[in-house]
Amino acid sequence: MKNRITGRSAFLALLKDEGVTHLFGNPGTTELPIMHALKDHPDLTYVMAMQESLVVAMADGFSRASGRLVACNVHVAPGLGNAMGSLYNASFTGTPLILTAGQQEQGHGLTEPVLFGPLLQMAAPLVKWAVEVTRLEDLPRIVRRAAKIATTPPTGPVFISLPGDVLNAEAGIELGRSTRIDTRVKPSDDSLKALAARILKAERPVIVVGDEIVKSDALREAADLAETLGCPAWQSSTPYGAHFLSESPSFMGAIARLQKVARDVLAPHDLLIAIGGDPLRMSVYSEVDPLPEGVSIVQVGLVDNDLARNYGAEIAVKADVKETLRALVPALKEAGGAALETRAKQSLAALSTKNWAAKRKALVEHISKSSHTSPIDPDWLALQVVEAMPDNAILVDEGLTSSRQIIGLRPHRDRYGYHALASGGIGWGLPAAVGVSLANPTRPVVCYSGDGSSMYSIQSLWTAANHKLPLSFVIVNNGGYRIIKQRLLAFHGDDNYVGMDFIDPPVDFTGMARALGLEAIKVTDPQELKGVMQSAFSRPGAKLIEVVVSNAVN
């Protein structure tokens, strides 16, 4: 005899068996069956956020900070609509996420009641798979398949529509078993030999790394490759994670998302070695191409769409980054011999005056000249945040213009120590930091956010307070959308900033934080910054530090 179970309880049991520990959600009427079943699953933590875009962003942050499958639940068509911006972010970063929405009962939905909508069509453009459960007996197969699809590279979100009648039904069903597909494969011997030969043929190679370095846990291996070759290594133009060990003598920083700047960085080289991501994803249009003529490309990664996305590659290898580098580095050493070792030592010596560590020292000296500037200089604030953070702290960064120097100031030392906005859709930082903190309860988390970004998702503060997280929000208050002002002035020569200020009336971030349950303080004196933040970062509980900075456009 099969065990009889309700759809709502089976759904939660299946999530738990797939490794899900937290269910992020905002409950509505069609989600009540799931809320009803939670009492029978006390080991599944329900995390309530006050709007659906926050729900998905929190789940996204949790997964990015843990590498684990996550699940979140939103409320029918308007809820899914609210979530779409955050779902776009999760799709961009390939977050393994099961998104579900309650749907009206089958048959009742045919009458198109209030809140009804075509959920599958709405979600489909942003997910790997979208499906509606039409029979309780199919629920286990669907959830198992969804988890498998979400976690198989290229990883990404999936969507399941859950009609109320299916959740409330009861039947004797088997829950099946979880499956994970092992994709940690390395190239064939012939491919490795060809790749090593092409790299050794290059006279002036350069490495550009992407997010698969994090997903594959290959930071040490990527640094070994760069140090073996003695060549510079850069983060890709979308440096939204800890994609390289900053203190490696080969690390140079992040390539700017500006075509001319990127082109100038790559111009001295004859081979671009792209590891684990699209190396040259730009932002705004330019007539300048970021890839100089004469620079060839070899590329390794598991995401098909990133391989030779915009530029043809001499060699493109679909394989796990870590496994490939583990085999490639010894092959390079064996084939290159003493000559490669000598050349690498000479090259690393030459890089020592211009690598990340050297640039950081000069940058700190430059920024420190603004230590007494009032209003506070945003770069001085960024330096104080970095220097006040405990060594084991995690930084979630959506400071935009105010965090322009963060990657140059704070070293990446582990793959989950830094998370930044990837897609450009602002408002991600505050809720993502909540998810990051839930995934890393023993590490302090600092969220560094612009004031404009924070207003997209300010309700996240309540969830941080509700869960008593060791999470500090630093809100950079310059009274407007500085990045848009900069671009209006740069692209159009126009300094008439319509709709880009919120200073009449000013936004009271400390007041909002207190109203949502957080300890809060406002800082206007540049000399008070470090002490205030060291105190906040070292104490338990959720806090907000509002820092009033210069509103100068440049």
375 preceded by a cis bond (ω within 30 of 0): yes
256-275 residue pLDDT tens:
999 999 999 999 999 999 99
pLDDT of residue 83: 96
484-519 residue pLDDT tens:
888 888 888 888 889 889 888 999 999 999 999 999
Confidence class for position 542, pLDDT limits 50, 70, 90: very high
CATH number of 189-353, picked from 3.40.50.720, 3.40.50.1220, 1.10.1240.10, 2.40.40.20:
3.40.50.1220
What is the rounded average pLDDT of the residues 410-431?
Answer: 94
pLDDT of residue 220: 98
Confidence class for position 483, pLDDT limits 50, 70, 90: confident
CATH code of 5-171, in short, is: 3.40.50.970
**Whole-number Å distance between alpha carbons of 246 and 259:** 23
CATH code of 358-548, in short, is: 3.40.50.970
pLDDT of residue 115: 80
Confirm if 253 and 106 have CB atoms less than 8 A apart: no
Name the token pair of 185. 């494969």
Confidence class for position 283, pLDDT limits 50, 70, 90: confident
Confidence class for position 30, pLDDT limits 50, 70, 90: confident
Helix/strand/coil (H, E, C) string of 479-505?
Answer: CECHHHHHHHHHHHCCCCCCCCECECC
Instruction: Determine whether 46 is exposed, middle or buried from the number of CB atoms within 10 Å of its CB (0-12, 13-18, 19+).
Output: middle
Residue 1 pLDDT exceeds 80? no
Confidence class for position 363, pLDDT limits 50, 70, 90: very high
Other Cβ atoms less than 10 A from the Cβ of 366: the count is 12
* One fold for 189-353 and 358-548: yes
**Whole-number Å distance between alpha carbons of 450 and 486:** 15
437-469 residue pLDDT tens:
999 999 999 999 999 999 999 999 999 999 999
pTM score of the predicted model: 0.95
37-73 residue pLDDT tens:
999 999 999 999 999 999 999 999 999 999 999 999 9
pLDDT of residue 2: 72
- Quote the mean pLDDT of the chain: 95
Ordered by start, the domain boundaries in the chain are: 5-171, 189-353, 358-548
Confidence class for position 91, pLDDT limits 50, 70, 90: very high
What is the rounded average pLDDT of the residues 231-243?
Answer: 95
